[in-house]
Amino acid sequence: MNNVICEHRDKRIHIRMKFAGFKIIFIIALSLMGSVKSEETSEFKIPSNFKPVSYELNLVTHLEDKFMFEGVVGIRMTCVEATDTIVLHSKSLNIDTKSVVVANGGENVIPVSSVSFIPDKELMHVKSTVNFKACDEYVLTIPFTGNLTEEWIGYYIRSYVDKESNQTRWFAVTQFEALGTRKAFPCFDEPEYKATFKIRLGHKKGLTSISNMKFMNQINCPSNSEYVVDEFEESPPMSTHLVAYTVADFVFNEANSEDDQVKYRIICRKELVNQTEFAINLGPKVLKYHEDYFHEKFPLQKQDMAAIPDLSTNSMENWGLATFKENYLLIDLNVAKIDDVYDVGHSITHELAHQWFGNLVTMKWWTDLWLNEGFAEYLGLRGVDFVFPESKYFQVANVKNFLLVLNLDSLQSAHPLSVAIGKPDEIAPISQDPITFAKGPILFHMMNTFLGEDTFKQGIRNYIHEYKFSNAEQDDLWSSLTEEAHRQGTLDKNVTVKQIMDTWTRQTGYPVLNVVRDYSAGTVTLSQERYLSIKSNGTDNKTCWWIPITMTTSGDLNQTNAKFWLNCENNNLTTPLAKDNEWVIYNMQMTVLFRVFYDTRNWMGIICTLNDPTKYETIPTLNRVQLILDSLSFSQVGDMDYEITFQLLKYLKHEIEYTPWLAALSGWRKIDNLLKRTPKHAVFQNNIRDMLSCVYNKFRNMEEKVNGYENIQLQSLVISRACEYQTKDCIQRVLDLFRKWMKSVDPDNNNILPKELKDTIWIRAIQYGGVEEWNFLWGRYQRSNLRSDKDDMIFALGCTSIKSLLLRYLNWLLDDSIIPKEDAYTAFDSVTRNEVGFSVAKEFLYCKISDISEYYQPEGDGLVKYVNYIASQMKTKEELEEFKSFIIKSSGYFKEPDLVINQITETITKNIEWTSKFYNKILQN
C-alpha cells in the first residue's frame, strides 16, 4: 500500500477572514509595529479643519469599450477652523484642476488659487486666495475620471463567461474598505468623517446599477441615447468606506415582505439564481434577530446582498448593499454539505450584524477594526444558533477559534489585538489577520459570561443608542458596559470593564494558569504567566491578565460561577481546597482564553475519571476539549511527559462528541506533520489507527445517512482521518464509491457520492488512484458551478502521488486561463502537504521564483504565501539553512526579505526544537 498521505484540509478550523488569503508574514510585521507604537495623530491623517455634511455623486460607468468612469462629486462641508486650504483624499484619479469650484453655501464662488496633490500621502489640496471662515458652510465641486482596473480595490472591473451564450460579460464593482473610496472619487476618506450620500449612476442600457440606498427612478441620459441614469435615495450619515455600487447584468430574487418591512434581495448572475433560496429565506429572520438584539430598528428601507464572481474579500458589510464572494452567499441545498450551508449562514449573519455594529455605529479610526469585526463575528455566530438552535454552531465555531488563537497567539512574534494604526499601510495587516476575527469573539463571549447575558446585552444596546449615526472607540464600549454592570450589580463598583479588557486587548498573547496543590494542607496556589510555544530566556513577568476564576472539583461538579479574579495585584494566590477532592478543573466551559497547567497528581486524577466510560461525561464537553488541547501543547513544549498526555487521550475510545475529537485530531496533526518524511511516521500512524478504530466502526458504512450537525461533523472528520491513516477498509470503500461515480450517467449533475463525505472521497481517490481518476476529477472541477465544490476539488487534485501530474499541475498555477489565481494558493498548499509533492513544490518555487513573483503583481504577496507554505513543512537545521540561503539569494523578489527570513526562521526553528526533543521519545509511549 502506498504510504503517501496527503493531509486533508479542514478549512473550517480557519476563521472566515474578510480578506482573501492568510498573510502569515503580517504577524511579524505587526509585532514590529507593536514595538514602535504608531501615533494615531499621524501626518497621514487629514487635518480636521473641515467636516463633510453631504455628498452628491454623479457617476457614469463605461464597460466593454473604454473601461473607465467619469463623474462629478459635490461635497457640502462645514468649516471647523479657519484655514485657506481644504485637504481631502484622492488617488489615481484624473482631475482637471481648473474645473474645481468652491462655493459659499452653494451660491458665492470662492476663488481657488491652486489645486495640488501629494501622491505618496494620497492627498489633494484645494487652496483659496481667502480664508474659509469657521462655522460657515461650503460646497466643493470636483469633476474627475478614472480607469476601471483589476486591482481589487476602489472601483474595479471583472468579467465572467455567461454559460448560456458563451460570451464574456463585464461588470464593475466597488470594494472601498479600507482606503479604496479615494480611488473612486475625491472624498474625506477616514471613518470619522460621516456624511450623507446622494448617488446617481449612469450606465449603458441593458445593465443594472445598485447602490446602498433604494432605487428611486431612471431617466435617459441627455448626452448619450444609449445610456440611462439611475437615481437613489439619500443615505443617512455614513463613512466613506461603506459606500458601494455596482454596474452589471445581474438579476435579483426578492423576499416576500409586508409593506412596512425591509425589502430584502439577493443579487447574482442569472445562472446562479437557483442557489439563492437559502439566503433569501434566512436574511429577513436574521435582520429581525439583530433588531431585537440591539433593540434598534434597521435604519434603511432595503437590504441587498450581492454575490460577486470575483470579489477581493470574502464579504463586505457596505450599508444596504453587502457584497460576497459567490460561495459565501449562494448555495445549492440539494448537493451542499451541511458545514457549507451553516458557513453561508454565518457569513450572512456576520455582515448583517455589521449593519448596526460597524455601520450605524462606526469606529473612529482603524485601530478599533478588531472591535468592529470581533463583535460582528460573535453576534454572527450567535445568529446561526438562533436560526438553527439544534446545531450548537456557536460552540463548535468557538472551539475552532480557540484552536487557531491558542496556536498563533503563543508565538513570540504575536501582536496585541488592539494595535495603534498611524500610516495607511498599517491597516492591511490588521484587516487580513486571523487574530482580528478569531480572538475578538472569544473575548466577547468571555464578557457575556462574566457580566451575565442581561448586563452584556443591555450595555451593547446602550452603546448603539448613544452613538448611532456617529463614531465611537473601544473605551466608549467599555464605559457603556461598565455603567450597566454597576447599575445591575454584576461587577464590583471598584472595577471597570476597561481595567479587565485592556489586559486582553492591549497586551500580546494569553496566560497559562499554574495550579499547584498542597494535598496535605488542603490548599491550592494559583499563579499566571504568558504562555509561549517556544520558551524564551527567563519568564515573562511583565504581563498579567484579569482572569475570572471558575472551577469544579470531583467533589462538587456545580461550582461554575466566578469565585474571584486573578490579576496583577494577587498573582500568587493560595486558597483552601478540600483534601479529599481527587481533582480540580479550572475555566469552566472553556469561556476564557488561557491554558491550565496542573501538578501530576491532579492530572492523574482527571485521567482516571476520563478513562472510566461511566464517569467521563461528568467532566463537561468543553472542559474535555481544553484538557486535550492543553496536555498536547504542554507535551509539545516539554513541560509535561507525552506518557501522561497519551494516557489521557486513551479515553477517546469511548468519546462520542465532535469537539473533543476535533481537538485531539488537530493536536495529532501537528505531531503527524513533524514526523512526515521520517522513518517513524508509519509507526505513529499505526498508533492513531488503533485510537480511531472504535469510532470509525460507528461510521464505516459511508452511504448510511447521519443526522444532526455535530454528528455529521464527527462522521466527516472521522472518515477523513481514518482514510488518511489507512484504517481498515477505508481506502477501498472510498475508491469503490469514486469509481462508481466515474461510471455514472452525467456525473456533473448526478453526483452519487454521500455529500458530506465528497471532499474526503475526492482526496483519497486522487491520492490512491491513477491518471484516470485525476483526469476525471479535473473535468468535474472545470464544469462545476458550485464554488465550495471547486475549492475542495482544487485541493484534492494536489494530493496525487504521481510526480508528472504534480509538476504539470504546479505549472498550471501560473496560467489564469487554466487555474484562476484565487484557486492557485489552495492548489500549491495542497501539493506542499503531500509527502511526494513537497519536494516537487520546493523545486518549483526555486526554479520559478521569477515567474511567480511577476504573476502575482501588483498584489505582490503571492510569493510570500508560497514561501510560508514550504516553510511550514520543514523541520531540520539543514532545511532551514538551505531555505534562508534561497531567500537571501532571491531577496530582490521580496519587498521585505528580512521579515520573510524572520518568519520562516521562527516557523522552522519551532519544528526543529520539537524534533530534537521528542522524535526519539514519542513513539516509546
Nearest Cα neighbor of 51 from 19, 12, 87, 91 is 87
Q: In angstroms, what is the C-alpha Rg of the chain?
A: 29
Give the lowest-confidence range in 40-44, 336-340, 360-364, 726-730.
40-44
pLDDT over threshold 50, residue 38: no
What pTM did the predictor assign? 0.87
Measured at the CA of 733, the angle between CA 336 and CA 824, to 5 degrees, comes to 50
How sure is the predictor about 556, in pLDDT bands with cuts at 50, 70 and 90?
low
The pLDDT, as a whole number, for residue 789 is 87
Q: Beta strand 321-325 with 302-308: parallel, antiparallel or unpaired? A: parallel
Nearest Cα neighbor of 736 from 702, 782, 691 is 702
pLDDT over threshold 70, residue 150: yes
Amino acid at residue number 611: N
How sure is the predictor about 925, in pLDDT bands with cuts at 50, 70 and 90?
very low
SS3 call for 750: coil
CB atoms within 10 A of CB 233: 17
pLDDT tens digits, 607-633: 999 999 999 999 999 999 999 999 999
Task: Judge contact between 112 and 164, C-beta under 8 A.
Answer: no
Residue 59 CA to residue 824 CA, distance in Å, equals 35
pLDDT tens digits, 48-91: 899 999 999 999 999 977 899 999 999 999 999 999 999 999 99
How sure is the predictor about 322, in pLDDT bands with cuts at 50, 70 and 90?
very high
pLDDT over threshold 50, residue 7: no
Considering the candidates 317, 351, 655, 756, report the single residue annotated as catalytic.
Answer: 351
Task: Judge contact between 269 and 307, C-beta under 8 A.
Answer: yes
pLDDT over threshold 80, residue 479: yes
- Give the distance from CA 847 to its chain's centroid: 32
Across 470-479, 517-526, 538-547, the highest mean pLDDT is recorded for: 470-479
Q: What average pLDDT does range 833-858 have in this prediction?
A: 86
299 phi, psi to nearest 5 deg? -80, -5
Length of the chain: 925
Nearest Cα neighbor of 592 from 557, 568, 628, 560 is 560
pLDDT over threshold 70, residue 217: yes
Burial of residue 599, with CB atoms counted within 10 A of its CB: 0-12 exposed, 13-18 middle, 19 or more buried: middle
Nearest Cα neighbor of 270 from 307, 325, 233, 304 is 307
Question: Can 643 be counted among the known catalytic residues?
Answer: no
The pLDDT, as a whole number, for residue 259 is 61
For the CA atoms of 266, 267, 271, 277, the dihedral, rounded to the nearest 10 degrees, stands at 0
HEC sequence for 479-517: HHHHHHHHHHCCCCCCCCHHHHHHHHHCCCCCEEEEEEE
The pLDDT, as a whole number, for residue 2 is 38
CB atoms within 10 A of CB 609: 18
Q: What average pLDDT does range 693-701 have in this prediction?
A: 87
How sure is the predictor about 541, in pLDDT bands with cuts at 50, 70 and 90?
low
Residue 495 CA to residue 489 CA, distance in Å, equals 11
Q: Beta strand 215-220 with 208-211: parallel, antiparallel or unpaired? A: unpaired
Nearest Cα neighbor of 655 from 688, 610, 590, 597 is 610
HEC sequence for 70-89: EEEEEEEEEECCCEEEEEEE
The pLDDT, as a whole number, for residue 287 is 93
Residue 400 CA to residue 406 CA, distance in Å, equals 10
The pLDDT, as a whole number, for residue 561 is 64
pLDDT over threshold 60, residue 744: yes
pLDDT tens digits, 623-680: 999 999 999 999 888 889 888 998 999 999 899 999 999 999 988 887 777 777 777 7
Residue with the larger pLDDT of the pair 913 and 12: 913
Give the lowest-confidence range in 40-54, 255-269, 301-315, 467-481.
40-54
How sure is the predictor about 898, in pLDDT bands with cuts at 50, 70 and 90?
confident
The separation between the first and the last C-alpha atoms of the chain, rounded to the nearest angstrom, is 26
CB atoms within 10 A of CB 703: 10
Counting residues of the chain whose pLDDT is more than 90, the rounded percentage is: 56
How sure is the predictor about 20, in pLDDT bands with cuts at 50, 70 and 90?
very low
Which residues fall in the annotated binding site for Zn(2+)?
350, 354, 373
**635 contacts: CB under 8 Å, gap ≥ 6:** 641, 642, 644, 645, 918
The pLDDT, as a whole number, for residue 877 is 83
pLDDT over threshold 60, residue 314: yes
The pLDDT, as a whole number, for residue 4 is 35
Give the lowest-confidence range in 334-343, 384-393, 418-427, 630-639.
418-427
Residue with the larger pLDDT of the pair 3 and 877: 877
491 phi, psi to nearest 5 deg? -140, 135
Counting residues of the chain whose pLDDT is more than 70, the rounded percentage is: 91
pLDDT tens digits, 801-818: 999 999 999 999 988 889
Burial per residue of 79-102, b for 16 or more beta-carbon CB atoms within 10 angstroms, e otherwise: beeebebbbbbbbebebeeeebeb
Give the lowest-confidence range in 32-41, 240-249, 291-300, 419-428.
32-41
Three cell numbers written together for 420 = 495603534
pLDDT tens digits, 867-892: 888 888 887 888 888 888 888 888 87
Residue 517 CA to residue 485 CA, distance in Å, equals 34
192 phi, psi to nearest 5 deg? -70, -20
Task: Judge contact between 784 and 748, C-beta under 8 A.
Answer: yes
Residue with the larger pLDDT of the pair 525 and 429: 525
Q: What average pLDDT does range 815-823 have in this prediction?
A: 86
The chain-wide mean pLDDT, for the chain, equals 86
Residue with the larger pLDDT of the pair 484 and 310: 484
How sure is the predictor about 558, in pLDDT bands with cuts at 50, 70 and 90?
low
How sure is the predictor about 13, in pLDDT bands with cuts at 50, 70 and 90?
very low
pLDDT tens digits, 384-407: 999 998 888 999 999 999 999 998
The pLDDT, as a whole number, for residue 539 is 53
